[in-house]
Amino acid sequence: MAPGDGEEGGHYKRGRGAGDCKDDDGENGPDKRCRVAAGSACADGEDGTGDYYNISGDGDGTGEDLIYYYSDDDEEAEVGVSTIQRDERRYVVLSEDDVRDRQGKDTAEVAEVLSVPPGFATALLRHFKWGKTRLKEEWFSDDRRIRDAVGLPAGGAPAPSALSRRELVCAICFGSFRAGRTRSAACSSHFYCGECWSGYLRAAVDDGPRCLSLRCPDPSCAAAVVRELVDAVADGADRDRYARFALRSYVDESGGRIKWCPGPGCTHAVEFVGCAGDDATDVLCDCRHGFCWSCGEEAHRPVSCATVRAWLLKNSSDSASVN
């Protein structure tokens, strides 16, 4: 029987009022504290030893109420994990390599279907929060509108070999360079030397994930700076950081469909595949960290997210008062 169904399990017990918040030996324990619960009423225990919370019942401590408690010496990892029953039909844990593989496959699929370079496909997917279906529908409905919104003019930038016989002036340093040594963004109008591009990209990468939405250096041009250009002109460290931001965007910009595990040092992500409206789910990552899919706090079912937030706010206020 699951915890909270009338039998002791995990950190839940059914009892009558605060006097039934007991330790494993059946004795009232001054080291026991009752963790906040959904629809709860908070009061001091009858023996004055601490707070208790009624998860169900009338909430006044006199009815048949479900008590949720934990001990000061409980291992933190056990709280939240012991009560989770892993149901992989509702969510899937993804390693960083899994995320990279999925991102690569989605990009390749869109590039093939829309007949665009991979860098263009990545920019388009990011614009649609990595939603392939909606991207395809919108693209085939009005591709010009989508190109304008993302900064991907038809035709794109010419290959350097096509310009190798020309000499161009870099619009940043005003030096003259053989055209093959200059590059443009997704436009074909504004060319810059490799050194100026490298500095421009370094400043953008230093600014964080916003570098993924970088546009042409010319203030009047909204052409996108795509991945192929970054790989060609950025130095190794900046290229690696850009790649890292690009990988994380697959999760961070998924519209909440995929989330990173908040466990300390964990690099796994979790994809929720449950039905709409049932996102109040406790998730157990492969790193053994349990968390609530909805609010990101430690696993707390059947306690509501709103009650947990209130409890955390209360603790924060109490700590501030003490200090």
Place of tokens 């909204």: 222
Phi and psi, residue 177, nearest 5°: -140, 150
Q: What is the pLDDT of residue 205?
A: 97
Pick left, alpha or beta for residue 265 (phi over 0 → left; psi -120 to 50 → alpha; otherwise beta): left
Q: Indicate the SS3 state at residue 42.
A: strand
Neighbours of 311 (CB within 10 A): 20
**Residues 229, 117 contacting (CB under 8 angstroms):** no
Could you tell me which residues are beta bridge partners of residue 298?
A: 291
Counts of helices then strands in the chain (DSSP H, E): 8, 14
Q: What is the pLDDT of residue 240?
A: 96
Domain limits, CATH 3.30.40.10, in the chain: 116-252
**Residues 49, 28 contacting (CB under 8 angstroms):** yes
Q: Amino acid identity, residue 309?
A: R
42-44 and 192-193 strand pairing? unpaired
Q: What is the pLDDT of residue 66?
A: 33
In angstroms, the CA 197 to CA 199 distance is 5
CA dist 20 → 27, 47, 70, 307 (Å)? 9, 11, 13, 22
Could you tell me which residues are beta bridge partners of residue 51?
A: 44
DSSP state of 36: P
DSSP state of 212: G
In angstroms, the CA 272 to CA 261 distance is 12
Could you tell me which residues are beta bridge partners of residue 64?
A: 16
HSE at residue 51, side-chain half, CA atoms within 13 A, is: 13
Fold designation for 116-252:
Herpes Virus-1 (3.30.40)
Q: What's the distance, CA 7 to chain centroid? A: 36
DSSP-H helix ranges across the chain: 96-114, 118-127, 132-141, 143-150, 194-206, 227-233, 236-252, 305-322
CA dist 214 → 225, 236, 238, 256 (Å)? 6, 18, 14, 23
Q: Residues 49, 55, 59, 64: what is their CA dihedral angle, to the nearest 10 degrees?
A: -90
Residues of the chain with pLDDT under 70: 1-89, 155-165, 274-280, 318, 320-323
Q: What is the pLDDT of residue 36?
A: 34
pTM score, whole prediction: 0.68
- Cβ neighbors of 162 (< 8 A, separation 6 or more) are none
In angstroms, the CA 301 to CA 4 distance is 10
Q: For the chain, how many residues are written?
A: 323
pLDDT tens-digit series, residues 183-206: 999 887 899 999 999 999 999 999
Could you tell me which residues are beta bridge partners of residue 92?
A: 271
